[in-house]
Structures are given as structure tokens and as C-alpha cells.
Chains A and B, each alone.
Chain A
């Protein structure tokens, strides 16, 4: 596991946009910049750890109230910008530990904050903005639902520090009354439980797994490589549907989500029966 989530996110945000500061009015944990991506301008958004964050339970890179509402605002801003031009791509750089686990957050309805961010990304996608999630580090649980999982296309680095999962290992072990070792062993037997990004890729939700040299330190070569992949993903998103159906039609999904696809096919067949 990466020592601290967000370090990579910040490094790649800086490499891809030339910026490393939050916009006015945003918390220090939220980075947004418009930068060139091939021939056009894309909006890049990233959540990073801010040790001085206003809310104590987000200081290690969790997605909290300010982050979620800030994401929603910046995504909706990109929609407004795109009204008169070609719909601007939005790249969600993902390196988030989780949602914030705090009482303040729960009391102030963090579920709604998360919903506004997911809703903003989905609105942009449905209006034709290509949304690309680039997972450079961790993409866990409510953090990923809030920031990235509504993307048309998901890219991830093929690296052992990349983790896409419903719950981080230690918490999942405690809740399911298993040891971390047991959980890791189970993950190798039961694909959807695996913490290995290559196993995640087999589930068919990922557009592409990117082999990037030394992902902790972006270089001109790897930045150019990642930009090329992003440009391809944008083109692929534009050519495809504005929903999440590509996650179901992939070869991986046909192998690994057979039961779900069969249930869906039955539902479609029975829907209009008298």
C-alpha cells in the first residue's frame, strides 16, 4: 500500500496541469485546473490530503463535506463553460483513501454531499462531457463513489500501490471478523474481493490498465504516455454511449459478471410481458 494517499495524485496533477494550488474559494484539499490535453482543454480535478484542513477527519486525504461540495461545484462549472463550445473533457485524478469517517460529517449529512458530487459528474457525462477517471493510487469506497466512479472510462496504473476497493483492508478485516492475511488469501480465490488491481481489471469495469514506469515520479516520457492514453479514452468516450453500459459490455464483464448480466437480460425480457 502506498505510504500516504494523495501524494501520487498531487504529483500527477502537477505534471499534467502545471498547477499545484487550490482555486480561490476551494479547500486546500481540492485541486482543479484547466490544461491542454492534445488539441483541446480539459478540466483536471484531484483530492489531496491537507494536514491543515478545516475538518479534522479529512486531513489524510479522505473525501469530506468541503471536498464533495467543491467537486460538485467545479464539475458543474465545467458544464457551464462547455455550453458554447465542444464539451470539455473532465479528468478525475483519483488517489483517495475513503470518505471521511467523522461525526461532524455524519451530522451534516455527508451522504448528500457525496450525492451532489456523484450527481454532478453524472450530469456532465449525460450532457456529453467525456469523464475519465485516472486511478493513480487508491480509489476506495465512498471516496471513489464521490470522485471518479461516475466516469465514462476508468484508467488505472498497473502497480501494486494502486488499490480499487469497497473498503480498505484493515477495516474490511475487522468488520468481517477475518485477519488481513485471511482477507488477502480470500481475495485470490474470490475475484471481486481481491485488492490486486490486475484482478480488478478482470471484472471488466476498467477501460485500460496502464503500465507506467516509476508511477511515484512522473517524467516527461510517462506524462506524454499518460496524456496519449487520456486522449484515446476521451475519443473512445465521445464515440460511445453517455451511460455506464461499457462496463457491462466488456469482455471482462461477460466473463465475470455473468449472473448480473443474466438477471438484467431476464428483466428486459419480462418487463413488457402482459
Chain B
């Protein structure tokens, strides 16, 4: 007892959530292999924000690093949740799409190049509205192109989470890793409350939000693959396993009949109990290729 030399792992670990986008991306790649593409010194900024009195950021909140993981070529695209809630604009979207397309081109030419997407995003950047939505449509298309050859691994660490159209990007990914602190969903609770009323969703009920959108629930019900601790080393180790595993036997978003049947079986007369959903969906769960 009272062994002062003992340092618990929770103190030693390095938080991933507390890292900014660039440091998150760097922490995943083999040491010394990372190279940033279209970095902040090139000042590729949003042309739309200044006109609306909003300071742009010199990387538009999207960091692209190319390097290796387990000596395999990988591109990591990290969204900065601290800039405009990681929202997708014209430039950040173009960077993500281009990186995915180049990885697909290399993969098609024989150099399989996986992508890791660190998604901290509320979805479309409303100040760039239609260009943001169009960018998300293109990112979805590019993920689907690349995942024919190499895995697209999405990590949602928190604290912004992954919402709006970008949740579809998580949906079409080969693998999704989440922390307990992360949330994943199409509509945030505030939006549902606004659109459908407080009786539909009380957005001040934080426990309810996490019971529905939280990482533990999303992994538990089988719509995400692995629950990871907020520990940079362990997250890097998990990502490495999925890079090494390659493609899943079947992508989740191709399992149309399975999910159609599950939706058909639900009792819609009342709200769904997240725990019930976790039990019934995980029983018949088809696991991906890895883990």
C-alpha cells in the first residue's frame, strides 16, 4: 500500500484528445516518416470567411500528412476541431478529396496506400454552405474509390465528434475507431430539438446524448469497430493493426439487407432503447476483417 513509486498508467499515458490535429496525425505515423502536404506556410485559406468577418486559418483546419505505418504508405488527414468546429469548407474539402484520390491512384498503380481520417467535425461549414456540402459529397465518393484497394480508417476521438454529412464519411469507412468521449451521428441533439421539438430530443440531457451517439454505444451496436482509450500510443497501435489487416471481408455500408431487416424489426411505437438495440444488433453482428 501507499507505494509512492507506483505511477498509475492513467497518469503516464499521453492523451490523444488533447492533441491538436497536426500532433494527432504525427503520433500515428512511423517516426520520422511524416511529411505535411499543402501545409500552413502555403496559406491555402478559405476565400469565403473574411467577407463574413471570420478569421481564416492558414491550413483551413485540415492537416494532411503522408508517411508510413508499419512501413506501409499511408496518408493521414486530420480535421482541427478547434477551428470552426472542424467544419468542411471548399479548401479543407478539396485537400481531403485530393489526398484520398492520390492514395487511390497510387493504390490502383500497385502501391497500396491506406488513409486514416481523424474526424472532429460538425459537418458542413455553413458559411460556405453549398461548397461545403459539395465537398462532402466528393469526399464520400473518394473514400469509396480508395476503399476498393486499401482501407480507409476513421478515428473519432472527441471532443467535437463527427456529425452532419461527415458522419456519412465515417459510415462508408472500412473501420471506425472511437473513444468513450467521442460521438457519432447524422444530426446533433440540438438540431433534432430545434427541428422536431424538445419532446423528441432534450439536448440538455447529456447522458441521453452519450447513450445514443457515444463511442461505447456505437461500437456496442456494431456500427463502429473498436472502442479505444484516450491514449495516443494505444490509438496508434490500434490504427496500425487495421493498416496491417487491410480491407475488411465486407464493408459495413454494403450490408444493406442485414440493416434493412434490423430496421424492419424495430418497434417504432416508442423511442428505441439504446441498450436493447446494442443487445439485439450485436447478437447477429457481422464482424469486419480485423480485430
Q: Is the CB of B256 within 8 A of A115?
A: no
In Å, the complex CA distance between A244 and B262 comes to: 32
CB–CB A107/B256 < 8 A: no
Give bound CA distance, A167 to B23, whole Å.
Answer: 33
**Max chain B Cβ within 10 angstroms of own Cβ: one of A144, A145, A244, A273:** A145
- Per the bound structure, the CA–CA distance linking A267 and B66 in Å amounts to 11
- Interface size counted on chain B using CB atoms at 8 A: 84
Contact A99–B133 (Cβ < 8 Å): no
Residues on B with beta carbons closer than 8 Å to the beta carbon of A259? 44-47, 90-91, 94
Q: Mark out the residues of chain A between 233 and 274 whose CB falls within 8 Å of any chain B CB in the assembled complex.
A: 243-244, 247, 256-264, 266-268, 270-271, 273
Please tell me if A203 contacts chain B, counting CB pairs below 8 Å. yes
Asked if B266 CB lies within 8 Å of chain A CBs, one says yes
- Counting residue pairs across A and B whose Cβ atoms lie within 8 Å, the total is 250
Least CB separation from A107: chain B residue: B272
Query: Which bracket fits the contact residues of A?
Result: 35 or more
Binary contact readout A54-82 vs B (1 if CB under 8 angstroms, 0 otherwise)? 11110000000110011011001000000
Q: A150-B137, A263-B44 are in contact. Are A116 and B254 (CB under 8 A)?
A: yes
Complex CA–CA separation, A267 to B94 (angstroms): 9
A244–B138 CB distance below 8 A: yes
In terms of DSSP, what is the predominant structure of the interface of chain B?
helix
A265 to chain B, nearest CB (A): 8
Inter-chain contact B186/A99, CB cutoff 8 Å: yes
CA of A22 to CA of B47 in the docked complex: distance in angstroms?
A: 45
A107 touches B274 (CB 8 A): yes
Least CB separation from B276: chain A residue = A107
Cross-chain contact A114 with B171 (CB below 8 angstroms): yes
Given contacts A103-B271, A112-B223, A260-B91, 17 further A-B contacts (CB under 8 A): A55-B268, A102-B192, A103-B200, A104-B268, A106-B186, A107-B271, A107-B272, A119-B144, A122-B144, A126-B148, A145-B133, A145-B168, A193-B127, A256-B131, A263-B60, A270-B37, A271-B102
